[in-house]
Amino acid sequence: MKVLVTGGLGFIGSETVIALYKNGHEPVIVDNLSNSKIEVLDNIEKVSGKRPTFYKVDCCDYEGFKKVFEKEGKMDAVIHFAGLKAVGESTKKPVEYYTNNLLSSLVLVRLMKEFGMKNIIFSSSATVYGVPERVPLVETDPVGHATNPYGETKIMIERILQDAAKADSSLNVCLLRYFNPIGADPSGLLGEDPNGIPNNIMPYISQVAAGKLKTLHVFGNDYPTPDGTGVRDYIHVVDLAEGHVAALKKLATNPGVVIYNLGTGKGTSVFELIAAFEKATGIKIPYVIDPRRPGDVAENYANADKAFEELGWKAKLNVEDACRDSYRFQTTTASK
């Protein structure tokens, strides 16, 4: 399939481009480089041996984006990664988040309609479930109480796509709700390289290990979890990327709207993650215990059975693999 990949130079998008090539598809990337670097394109080529067509275009720019559709002709599907994703930042810049995430999606849906493109995979998030009433989370659990503007944009875009599919029965929509993506391409060439001090734990630990940061701050050890630290479902980005390839196959069967959790189904605590990192790299991670981070929940992990039953997809790599790959990326390619 010829697949349009918005945000294809980002962390998850670039790894998905690798998976698309591996599975015989042809990716076309659109990215405005707001949170990625053009060098990623070279690294995609180094890993896959192929250089994807790339357009530096903002998905909110209808005219610019339309030119991509005109130039590329028939494309079979779009995977929509483009968006702003920092939870904390979204509470400080809500209007920017609503504008970028909603407008880019609306422009995309409009162009899909104009050019007769019928298949879309959307990068949603476990954040749409809000504060979980129980774990593991299943796809039928209630949606609609996100704790921040970023999460609200995911809920709204899910709804927009569902309504669009209701009005046009030939439209196929796959909502993929990611849990906690970590890891990097095993080559060390593609990964997550956040600007400034990382908000997420994996890049933070990697930077501590590489000597860029001094000490990990563990946010709370008084949660009602086995060791008192927060539990999450960490999924290797290579597995996540394969999930998109499986979803494309599903879209080809004209399923209408389908929703899948992409997680491992297994919870890992902060202390377990630190131990896995130390085991994988042999590097000791110094840490201090800080108070709980506002808005964090004790436990969040997926029931990932539906993706296995309907897509034949499940995570194969473990947190140790992810720690090793993140560290490799941190020490070879990430900004020093």
Residues of the shown chain interacting with ligand NAD in the complex, contacts defined by CB under 6 A: 6-7, 9-13, 30-36, 58-60, 81-85, 100, 104, 123, 125, 178, 181
Residue 10 binding: pick among ligand NAD, ligand UDP, none (C-beta 5-8 Å cut-off by kind): ligand NAD
CB closer to ligand NAD out of 283 and 296: 296
Question: Can you tell me the distance from the alpha carbon of 78 to that of 26, in angstroms, rounded to the nearest whole number?
Answer: 11
Per-residue tokens: 55: 């357009």
Question: Do 58 and 33 touch, CB atoms closer than 8 A?
Answer: no
Residue 329 contact partner, candidates ligand NAD, ligand UDP, none, CB within 5 to 8 A by sort of partner: none
Which residue's entry shows tokens 């998109």? 244
Please report, as a single letter, which amino acid is at residue 110: R
Q: Which of 150, 122, 145 lies closest to 133, judged by CA?
A: 145
- Binding map of ligand UDP across residues 292-311, x = CB under 6 A, - = no contact: -x--x---------------
Cβ-based neighbour number of residue 114 at 10 Å: 11
Active site residues: 150
For the bound state, the minimum distance from the C-beta of residue 280 to ligand UDP, rounded and expressed in Å, comes to: 17
CB of 282 to ligand NAD, least distance (A): 26
The amino acid occupying position 131 is V
76 binds, among ligand NAD, ligand UDP, none (CB under 5 to 8 A by kind): none
Question: From the CB of 97, what's the least distance to ligand UDP, in Å?
Answer: 15
Answer yes or no whether residue 128 interacts with ligand UDP by CB under 6 A: no
Residue sitting closest to ligand NAD (CB): 10
Which of the listed partners (ligand UDP, ligand NAD, none) does 270 bind, with a CB threshold of 5 to 8 Å by partner kind? Answer: ligand UDP
Residues 220-259 contacting ligand UDP, CB under 6 A? 230, 232
* 53 contacts ligand UDP (rule: CB under 6 A): no
To ligand UDP, the closest distance from the beta carbon of 215 in angstroms equals: 10
Burial string for 165-189 (b: 16+ CB within 10 Å, else e) reads beeeeebbbbbbbbbbbbbbbbbbb
Of 84 and 120, nearer to ligand NAD (C-beta) is 84
Residue 91 vs 200, nearer CB to ligand UDP: 200
Kindly tell me which of 15 and 321 has the beta carbon lying closer to ligand NAD.
Answer: 15
Interface with ligand UDP includes 89 (CB under 6 A)?
Answer: no
d(CA 79, CA 16): 9
User: Minimal distance in Å, beta carbon 288 to ligand UDP?
Assistant: 10
By C-beta, is 35 or 172 nearer to ligand NAD?
35
Of 59 and 274, nearer to ligand UDP (C-beta) is 274
* 272 is an interface residue for ligand UDP by CB under 6 A: no
Residues in 199-218 at the binding interface with ligand UDP, rule: CB under 6 A: 199-201, 204, 217-218
- State the residues that interact with ligand UDP by CB under 6 A: 180, 199-201, 204, 217-219, 230, 232, 270, 293, 296
